[in-house]
Chains A and B, each alone.
Chain A
Amino acid sequence: MSTSKKRVPTRERAPEERNKDFYEVNLGYEKRDAMEEAERCLQCKNPLCVKGCPVSIDIPGFIAELKRDHISESAKILKTYNYLPAICGRVCPQENQCEGACILNRMKDNEPVSIGKLEKFVADWEREHKTLSVSVKEKKSKCVAVVGSGPSGLTCAAYLAERGYDCTIFEALHMAGGVLVYGIPEFRLPKSIVQDEIEAIKSLGVKIETDIIVGKTITIEELRDEFDAVFIGIGAGTPKMMGIPGSELIGIYSSSEFLTRINLMKSFKFPYFDTPVRTGKHVIVVGGGNVAMDAARSALRLGEADVKVIYRRTESEIPARIEEYHHAVEEGIEFHWLTNPVEYIGENGRLKAVKIQRMELGEPDASGRRRPVPIENAYEVFEADTVIEAIGQTPNKVLLETIPQLKLNRWGNIDADETLQTSMDGIFAGGDIVTGAATVIEAMGAGKLAAQSIIEHLEKRR
């Protein structure tokens, strides 16, 4: 079969159709297209893509099985490395990871293999056909408590359960999944897929208890008494806010609140679900990351408002996945570069407008990106009924306050060593609560590493 230098495109819903509802944007590959794309993989002996993957998936391996039309085998390879492939295929920033490392990038006019979309295809095929049987090693006597049911906690628990350890996940909210459920919108990651992946993990014997706020409903000491080890994967749970004048006005949301209302509480189905959300006619989203894209595209889909994103640097510095940014542009979101809000202007307690300061790029800062510098007296006022601030997260203190003896780093995140052991014996931590806000796949990588360290810890104690 002759192969193309360009990727086989996936099916995507038209922007003007999809920007009015919350159904999934990317419809993925048909089998024939997936097989054709798989042919583009050169099956490198020394695969760079695997090095680019935070959980080192055998990428040439799963693609080779797909080429042979052994999709079940392909899914098995994926699941060996990654308990949440249908999720990663959808939300990983592949352009910076596997696809960014693909050897085809170095060949003239070639596009990298569409690894993420192939992963999604194989994972979805397996979700539908359910060919893989659960294999759990002989039961061990040790048990592990996992705090938080986001990507790191789910991965840690699944890895341990598969090796025979008794695992219980404690989740503060009423649904398991963490950011996969309250943060990432339906149109990017349908919640039915998250539920399927969680069910698959439960089938390994993992127990999930919702409505448990560790530190409140049960203390960490009680967990240490009851369990042989504890993994803390509570994410970076508290929103940063601008804190500029007018922040208390009605109409100003943190992205966490806005997205939680929509994703977890299903306010896009109000009044069929009871929790409301409101955008008014003009929405401004502050920030340039994936969360800002999610908030902007969600606001647009509520159907009432025009949506602007304001970002203090330029297009080339945005941290968002390139696919999400392109989708946002296609769907009609306006981007205003080099702008930063300095004041919220209200009327009768409600937001009316945002005062914006123009910025320019100065010298590079610690992140290597050029620092945005305010231009004196360059202000502009944008009309706005709603502002959604998507400017990052800080560690949630609810649990940490109850364990003052646990060592934190200077950003307030948990201080863990390279094995993810914390300063307290038998307590491990990983994901955003250790690194600060990062990606789903990095959190999963941490969950897996912590699970390996926990096993070493438990077996050495014998």
Chain B
Amino acid sequence: MSYRIISKEKIASNEYDIWIHAPRIASHAKAGQFVILMADESGERIPLTIADTDKKEKIRIIYQVVGTSTERLARLEAGDSLSNCAGPLGKASEIPENEKALVIGGGVGIAAILTIVKTLKEKNNEVTCIIGSRDSEHIILRDELEAAADELLIYTDDGSLGNKGLVTDGMNRQFEEGKVFDAAWAVGPTVMMKFCAKVAREHDLLIWTSLNPIMIDGTGMCGGCRVKVGEEIKYACVDGPEFDGRIVDWDVLMNRQKQYLDEEKESHHRCKIGLDGAGEK
């Protein structure tokens, strides 16, 4: 199986938008699901949300370069092939009908809300969308989300686009204006999701958050991605990745995401100076 990169576009500093030839995944993928891909045989298995699909032929992945594995992924250009790509993994988003939804995306997580917004609209929901990032450059998919959602609000840390502030400021403003929602989604950095969940809890609003713990197989085989939701231990790869953010134990998730910080630094350093991987030893 060849997972050819059909196109590649740099959409922000360190962020890339690629379409991959993967008909089987494209024809089965639903909103909220992800793939696990490997750039090459000595790389890590990288979980990434499916940002979009097209004609049951290809899938769209938007990723940010954060370490060795994504750096090596970024070295692949259009025409190159990934060594592996498996999915669609995880449970699909629970999309209601004829309701009012609030969908929040932050940073590269904005990529993960596009299919949720589109599917919500297909099911006749009214969708308010809030996206946020540090600056205007990192507000991605603005035109597509503007076209898909009923309303799009933008927040940047430096005020270079839209409102100055955080997505939680945007949430609070909605509630101050007396808006009522039936369900919400938030996808972005863990700390953002944690605070979105806090605001939602204060307003008694169900909020789905897409968790991104460290993961290997993505099929429930290793248990590495376990998260604490309510009093239960769940595997994000098969029970999620979306969970009710109001009962997620965010501190456990953030702690477990730090497991390999030292190794990641060492590996990324070697990668940058060209001493990485290729599995030669």
Contact = CB atoms under 8 A, between A and B. Distances in A.
A271 B221 contact: no
Interface stretch (B169-177, B180-188, B262-270): B262-270
B24 A266 contact: no
Contacts of B279: 266, 269, 272-273
Interface range on chain A: under 10, 10 to 19, 20 to 34, or 35 or more?
35 or more
Contact of A271 (B1, B86, B267): B267
Contacts of B235: 238
A172 B42 CA distance: 18
Nearest to A235: B221
B276 interface: yes
B260 A278 contact: yes
A287 B118 CA distance: 48
B277 A254 contact: no
Nearest to A249: B255
Contacts of A241: 223, 226, 233
Contacts of B263: 270-271, 276, 278
B57 to A, nearest CB: 15
Given A261-B216, A273-B277, A278-B263, A212 B24 contact: yes
Given A174-B86, A217-B87, A274 B277 contact: yes
A271 B88 contact: no
Contacts, number: 137
Interface residues of B, number: 51
Interface in A273-319: 273-276, 278
A105 to B, nearest CB: 39
B224 A272 contact: no
B89 A210 contact: no
A397 B258 CA distance: 28
B217 A260 contact: yes
Given A211-B1, A397-B220, A398-B238, A272 B278 contact: yes
Contacts of A239: 221-223
B43 interface: yes
User: For chain A, what secondary structure do more than half of its interface residues adopt (helix, strand, loop), or is it mixed?
Assistant: loop
* Residue from B267, B275, B278 whose CB has the most chain A CB atoms within 10 Å: B267
B216 A174 contact: no
A274 B252 CA distance: 24
B86 A212 contact: yes
* Residue from B43, B84, B224, B252 whose CB has the most chain A CB atoms within 10 Å: B224
Interface in B39-85: 42-45, 68-69, 72, 83-85
A320 interface: no
Given A217-B28, A218-B24, 16 more contacts: A174-B83, A182-B221, A211-B84, A212-B86, A217-B87, A256-B223, A260-B222, A266-B279, A269-B281, A271-B270, A272-B280, A273-B277, A274-B277, A275-B44, A278-B259, A396-B221
21 contacts: A172-B86, A182-B221, A211-B84, A213-B86, A213-B87, A217-B24, A217-B87, A219-B28, A239-B222, A239-B223, A247-B226, A248-B226, A250-B259, A257-B216, A270-B267, A273-B43, A274-B69, A274-B277, A278-B259, A278-B260, A396-B220
